[in-house]
Amino acid sequence: MSPEPQKGRAPSIRDVARLAEVSHQTVSRVLNGHPSIRDETRQRVLDAMEALKYRPNRAARALVTSRSRTIGVLSATTGEYGPSSSIAAIEDAAREAGYFVNTANLAASTPAAIVDALKHLVLQDVEGLIVMAPQVRVFDVLAGMAIDIPYVSLQSTGQSDHRALAVDQIAGARAATQHLIDLGHHEIVHLAGPQDWIEAEARMRGFLDAIIESDLRTHPPILGDWTADFGYYAGRELSRYRDFSAVFAANDLMAIGLMHAFRDAGLDVPHDVSVVGFDDIPVAQHVSPPLTTVHQEFREVGRRAVALLLGELRGEPVTSSEEIVPSLVVRGSSGPVHAALVHY
């Protein structure tokens, strides 16, 4: 019998069964990894699938197995480099494990928008969730909905939680601030991320820890919105006062906006003011001067998130993996303090 199905339609499970000379129930058992199938039978079915270029129908498999083999990702900022890189790694790791990925991006951070995004994922019959929306209100909504599927979140503080992937944002911010202190800067301003963002709070905490331990004056933090436009606006305002010699920005985009504003105001970076960012986005090494920043392993975050979630889905004892500690990358935007330039 010819291995080719009738022209005009995709090969079916029965076509595979005929070519492999087994029942369609046997093909179904092979597809679902049933342990009773002999190795030679399994290989014959797999060879037939390859010859016919058969692809299992996802919906049909879900009905048979009661499993969608789908992971849901809730993200607040898929358009930015960091989240985009992590999601790409999640998709790669999930695909290698035989899972699909559905991503819901929050168009707004209101409770209603969060509920809608979570309901959208649940209605897709996702088996588990990866939460990449690091805002306090997201977790408040998640707890209030009492979703009964496993989920993994990103954790900025390194606190013990078997469902959290620990990324020590505090340590990264401390390293950035300590770098400026070691260069002789005693008047350091922090351009922070928005309130309610867990990452922003953790980076501010790391900054304050380093400042307090060195017994330096604390400048009121400037609450930003992660954008280069806000960094530019803040830089224009800061240029009017000049009671500082360095700025630690909570992300690279705001740091790049800052440097643009300082340059427009006639200030030289790093001779007049040093700037350090956070994230190490690709463009950071190509601005002028190249940006000193804190490097994050975004793809490793995505890979580990999938491993943590799949372990829980398999019912294995899950403990949070070793926390990921960002590392400082020193480039041209930070330099020694020039005390004569600081006015009190």
The encoded tokens of residue 99 equal 């899972």
The encoded tokens of residue 44 equal 């014959």
**pLDDT tens per residue, range 191-233:** 999 988 888 999 999 999 999 999 999 999 999 999 999 999 9
To the nearest whole percent, how much of the chain has pLDDT over 90?
43
pTM of the model: 0.76
- When the pLDDT of each residue in the chain is averaged and rounded to a whole number, the result is 84
The encoded tokens of residue 326 equal 């960002």
Instruction: Please compute the mean of the pLDDT values over residues 113-124 and round it to a whole number.
Output: 82
Quick one: pLDDT at residue 152?
Answer: 86
> Which residue type sits at 187?
E
**pLDDT tens per residue, range 21-34:** 998 888 877 776 66
Looking at residue 337, the DSSP 8-state letter turns out to be -
**pLDDT tens per residue, range 87-111:** 899 999 999 888 999 888 887 778 8
What's the pLDDT band for 317 if we cut at 50, 70, 90? low
The CB-based long-range contact list for 6-13 (8 Å cut-off, 24+ gap) reads 10/54, 10/55, 11/52, 11/53, 11/54, 12/54, 13/54
Using the structure block, give the residue that is written with the tokens 């679902």.
32
- Taking alpha carbons only, the member of 201, 224, 192, 205 closest to residue 135 is 201
To the nearest whole percent, how much of the chain has pLDDT over 70?
85
Which helix (H) or strand (E) element contains residue 118?
A: helix 111-123
